Chains A and B, each alone.
Chain A
Amino acid sequence: MASTKELVYRLWRKLEGGFIPDDSKFTYRELKGYIRSGIGLALKQNYYESLNADEYRYGADTISATSTLTVQADATTGLKYITLPASTINVAGNRQNIVTSKNPIARYTTSYVPVRAEEVFVAKLQPSIPCVVLYYKEGNKLFFYNGIVTDTEVKLTQRYALPTDDDAELGLDDYENQIIAQAMQLIINPQIPSDRANDGVPNI
């Protein structure tokens, strides 16, 4: 399984026709941007393909990244929160960020349940749900409420997250060629400037 860095260098070699010279007109950062966009598209494609293949709403289990995060308290509101390490693809719903205790199957573990930010308003008007901690996403943070968070650290599983570490394996073997091909198409497609004066000389 290739990582982001491997895909970037694969693309770079194709563009340069072999060895990458020191004076290459491309930079790593620029090519990484194209590759990341392709990765995002591939993730979204995989997600919808999984939905079509199976009624399971959470997509492929293999495409997820797990991390242990420290629970912090907001100084102004007192709400506990965690900061998301990576961003996920843009799909509707709240299935992308799953929070559990470090040992989710222990007998006295706290259960964490995601809700959408709009649901927070509706839920306040109804009986509260006992024995779970609810959390909602605001920006790049997940805020907890409805229960006492006793864990100082929680485990976060992000599904279909765009990688933050260039060396991390992507798990998108089926889409590697597609990602590179899309990036190639964007880079080598010549841009024809318009000719507003219609004098045969393109406007630059």
Chain B
Amino acid sequence: MANVKLSQAVSYALDELNYGSAEYARAYRFAIRALDELRLDITGGAATVTLPVSCNLTVPLPDDFIRETKVGIWGANNTIIALTRSNDLSFETAIQDYEYVDPNENYYKLNDERFNTYVTESLGKGSYANVGYFRIDYTAKLIILNPEFTYSEIVLEYLKREEVDGEYTVDERLLESVAAYIRYKWHIGKKGTSLGERREYERLWHKEKRNAKYRINKPLIQDMNRSAREGTKGGLKS
């Protein structure tokens, strides 16, 4: 996978539209927006961080957080054991009354009545590994954990906002997508462009985006073979 300068994608679009340097600045700004779009859906790299759990069982999100991809704790063999998302958790995080449990452990047991619930485990058929519950408060930028959570750290894998220092670059497999986006946005507000043309440019942009997605996230034959084998189930034969 080679990265090329974003200005190359811009030059493709300008060449096609028969424009020159006077349109470069505007086209480049469209290209930056195209990169953001593609990063959110296709190429965004996930960052993994270990975050400490606060006394009120919350974890502040990193500043460059866009979207979570995995929330869990460290397991054996460098794996992440995922927590279970629960929308039943309240966003209330103020500690009403607490009891310090153990000087060696970094958590507090909450004595608030709201937290006098029993822990439900996942058992039996259809069960899953359940080591804790979480809910994300996007407004307050916090991860809320359940009161019974006992770990001092969590692992967050998330899509991060990228800070660009210097020239923007783009995966070469996305060049046509960026050019299609520039074409689409250029015509969306252009005087004299008919509704049909605008829809066509939008359709072409989505088509190029899909092509880019298939190029980048192409499944391997070995992965498909493994999925097929894992899906094989035995059944009674009459």
Contacts and interface: CB of A to CB of B under 8 A. Distances in A.
B27 to A, nearest CB: 10
B7 interface: yes
Interface string B28-39: 110010000000
Interface string B20-47: 1111111011001000000000000000
Contacts of A112: 21
Contacts of A123: 25, 29
A119 B20 contact: no
Contacts, number: 46
Nearest to B31: A129
B20 to A, nearest CB: 6
B19 interface: yes
B32 A131 contact: no
B25 A134 contact: yes
The bracket for how many chain B residues form the interface is 10 to 19
A57 interface: yes
B168 interface: yes
The interface centre, meaning the residue of B22, B32, B164, B168 with most chain A CB atoms within 10 A of its CB, is: B22
A58 B26 contact: no
Tell me if A's interface is mostly helix, strand, loop or mixed: loop
B87 interface: no
The interface centre, meaning the residue of A57, A111, A119 with most chain B CB atoms within 10 A of its CB, is: A57
Given A126-B29, A127-B32, A94 B167 contact: no
Tell me if B's interface is mostly helix, strand, loop or mixed: helix
B166 interface: yes
A41 B7 CA distance: 37
B167 A95 contact: no
A95 B166 contact: no
Interface string B144-177: 0000000000000000000010111000000000
B18 interface: yes
A129 B28 contact: yes
A73 interface: no
A113 B24 contact: yes
Given A129-B29, A130-B164, A131-B166, 19 more contacts: A57-B18, A57-B22, A57-B23, A94-B22, A98-B21, A112-B21, A113-B21, A113-B22, A113-B24, A113-B25, A115-B25, A126-B29, A126-B32, A127-B29, A127-B32, A127-B164, A129-B28, A130-B168, A132-B25
Interface of A: 55-58, 93-95, 98, 111-115, 119, 123, 126-127, 129-132, 134
Interface of B: 7, 18-26, 28-29, 32, 164, 166-168
21 contacts: A57-B19, A57-B20, A57-B22, A58-B22, A93-B22, A94-B22, A95-B20, A111-B21, A113-B22, A113-B24, A114-B21, A114-B25, A119-B25, A119-B26, A126-B29, A126-B32, A127-B164, A129-B25, A129-B28, A131-B166, A134-B25
